[in-house]
């Protein structure tokens, strides 16, 4: 089962995805927590280029290709093999982030889709939790106690509100996959929403498995 967490800076993706991972481990469900960009040695090296330094240090197309290169490493060499072994893979950011951020930098969805389909067959994501928070609040949270990996937090507010609009558009086009959660409130309430949905999803998957075994 493949679960992704999406949303802007400081929306709580890392906090909530790690909580869900711990919740599954506590229940003896085989699970792995990973993140993008990154997740493998080479992809983490690419991450360093992407998240550090000045905001305008490379052409936006170079940046897009680096995100996709990191994703190829991560998905083909780590995530997919784990999914085949029956793990629940929880990923902090995935392709929706590329769509939301790179489109906000002025790249067309057509170009992103073309690169995506050149390197991937259809990737099945079972559930995406889109954590939605006002960018002012998100950036405040994200920068409060962190001074590194801040290349994106330095982009202006207009950029971050465009990113949020793009996430909303992706959500509207993928309502069966994406659950949108207001993450402006208490982290425990946010987590309860995630867990309620996950447990429903998990029971559906188990039901299907039993049916398959019975036939």
Ligand X SMILES: Nc1ncnc2c1ncn2[C@@H]1O[C@H](COP(=O)(O)OP(=O)(O)O)[C@@H](O)[C@H]1O
Give whichever of 13 and 127 is closer to ligand X, judged by the CB atom.
13
Residues 9-38 that bind Mg ion (CB under 5 A): 14
**Among residues 31, 88, 142, 163, the one that binds ligand X under rule CB under 6 A:** 142
| 13 near ligand X, rule: CB under 6 A | yes
**Residues 115, 119, 122, 124, CA torsion sign:** negative
Residue 9 sits in the site that holds ligand X (CB under 6 A)? yes
The residues in 15-54 that bind ligand X, with binding defined as CB under 6 A, are 15
- Region near ligand X per CB under 6 A, out of 70-78, 137-145, 166-174, 203-211: 137-145
Question: Residue by residue, what is the 3-state secondary structure of 103-141?
Answer: HHCCCCHHHHHHHHHHHCCCCCCCEEEEEECCHHHHHHH
Residue 183 touches ligand X, criterion: CB under 6 A: yes
Binding-site partner at residue 9 among Mg ion, ligand X, none, CB < 5 to 8 Å by type: ligand X
Q: Which of 18, 5, 76, 7 is nearest to 42 (CA)?
A: 76
Asked if 151 touches ligand X (CB under 6 A), the answer is no
Which one of 190, 194, 198, 202 is in contact with ligand X (CB under 6 A)? 190
Q: Cα(102)–Cα(27) distance, rounded to whole angstroms?
A: 37
| 4/202 with CB nearer Mg ion | 4
Residue indicated by tokens 């305008």: 56
Residue whose CB is less far from ligand X, 65 or 195: 195
139 binds, among Mg ion, ligand X, none (CB under 5 to 8 A by kind): none
Closest CA to 31 of 81, 89, 92: 89
| SS3 label, residue 95 | helix
- Comparing CB distances to Mg ion, the nearer of 14 and 161 is 14
Which secondary-structure segment (H or E) carries 88?
strand 88-92
Q: What's the closest the beta carbon of residue 207 comes to ligand X, in angstroms?
A: 32
Minimum separation from the CB atom of position 117 to ligand X (A): 28
Cα angle, residue 195 at apex, residues 175 and 136 outer, rounded to 5°: 65
State how beta strands 2-6 and 127-132 pair.
Answer: parallel
The residue (of 110 and 144) whose beta carbon lies closer to ligand X is 144
Residue 114 has a CB neighbour count (10 Å cut-off) of 10
- Residues at the site binding ligand X, with contacts judged by CB under 6 A: 7, 9-15, 141-142, 145, 183, 187, 190
């Amino acid at each position: 089962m493949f679960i992704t967490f999406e949303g802007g800076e400081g929306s709580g993706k890392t906090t909530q995805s790690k909580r869900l991972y711990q919740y599954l481990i506590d229940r003896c469900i085989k699970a792995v927590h990973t993140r993008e960009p990154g997740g493998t040695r080479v992809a983490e090296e690419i991450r360093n280029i992407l998240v550090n330094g000045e905001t305008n240090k490379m052409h936006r197309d170079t940046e897009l290709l680096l995100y996709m290169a990191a994703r190829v490493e991560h998905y083909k060499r780590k995530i997919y093999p784990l999914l085949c072994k029956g793990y629940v893979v929880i990923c902090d950011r995935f392709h929706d982030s590329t769509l939301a951020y790179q489109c906000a930098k002025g790249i067309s969805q057509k170009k992103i889709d073309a690169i995506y389909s050149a390197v991937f067959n259809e990737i099945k994501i079972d559930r995406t939790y889109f954590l939605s928070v006002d960018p002012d609040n998100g950036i405040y949270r994200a920068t409060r106690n962190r001074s590194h990996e801040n290349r994106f937090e330095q982009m202006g507010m207009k950029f971050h509100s465009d990113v949020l609009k793009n996430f909303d558009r992706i959500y509207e086009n993928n309502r069966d996959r994406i659950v949108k959660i207001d993450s402006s409130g208490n982290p425990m309430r946010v987590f309860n929403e995630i867990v309620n949905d996950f447990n429903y999803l998990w029971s559906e998957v188990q039901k299907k498995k039993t049916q398959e075994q019975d036939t």
